[in-house]
Amino acid sequence: MTINKKINIAIDGFSSCGKGTLAKQLAKSLHYLFIDTGAMYRAVTLSLIENQINIDEIQSIERLLPSLDISFVNKPEINSYKTTLNGRDVEEDIRSMEVSNLVSPVSKISAVRAFLVDQQRKLGLSKGVVMDGRDIGTVVFPDAELKIFMTAKPEIRAQRRLDELKRNGDELVTFDEVLLNLNSRDFQDSSRSNSPLKPAIDAKIIDNSFLTRDQQFHMALEWALEKIN
């Protein structure tokens, strides 16, 4: 594949829509840097839990943030990326229900958003980034050459999330718990005053309720190559 120029690709959408899967596929195919912003917010949430800092203790949160080093390590042997927090692999820890139940309130905190958005924008200065999250095309990279917004039926997303949790060893969580968590996060993310979850005006929409991973990947790759070539 001949790449003529580098662009930034913003992928937004609801939880458990496969944003990360698609972003990783595109990054690998285009030899771009993959950034999972949801994992960044989860890493901050995990750090608050581990440091026993309540989400209303704003000054304590502001003091903690500069000490956090969140990065992504490519693991080619498992064809995936791992999230690290201050050098520690936290990929499994940040996917727990405890973190999931708290990450939306944490993402509303202005200091947290400012801290992470600043880091995310710096990562995209040189182009060649595929970034997924909830406000990438509207706030972080409003000038991204390609913006994609992903959605799927809540029940399908809940089953996907439940399957992921069970693969990671969480056998106690139920479908109803996961669906309630997703619906709650959808409402919080879409209704917050600071950077609400919504498609950018020029975003291309993918409803992958009944699409395979390959189908959505080839659709997105075609869009990317149109912008690159």
Q: 3-state SS of the chain: helix, strand, coil percent to 5?
A: 50, 15, 30
As beta bridge partners, residue 111 has: none
Angle at 218 between CA 200 and CA 208, to 5 degrees: 60
Which pLDDT belongs to residue 213?
A: 93
Which pLDDT belongs to residue 81?
A: 75
Angle at 113 between CA 108 and CA 119, to 5 degrees: 160
Check: CB of residue 197 under 8 Å from CB of residue 115: no
Rounded Cα distance between 14 and 77, Å, is 29
Which pLDDT belongs to residue 78?
A: 52
pLDDT tens over the chain, length 229 residues: 455 689 999 999 998 899 989 999 999 999 998 888 889 999 999 999 999 999 999 999 999 999 999 988 877 665 567 899 999 999 999 999 899 999 989 998 999 999 999 989 988 998 999 999 888 999 999 999 999 999 999 999 999 999 988 888 878 889 999 999 999 988 988 888 778 889 999 999 999 999 999 999 999 999 999 999 8
Whether domain 8-220 has CATH 3.40.50.970: the reply is no
Sorted by where each begins, the domain ranges of the chain are 8-220
Which pLDDT belongs to residue 227?
A: 94
Which pLDDT belongs to residue 77?
A: 61
Which pLDDT belongs to residue 115?
A: 96
Pairing label, strands 129-133, 33-36? parallel
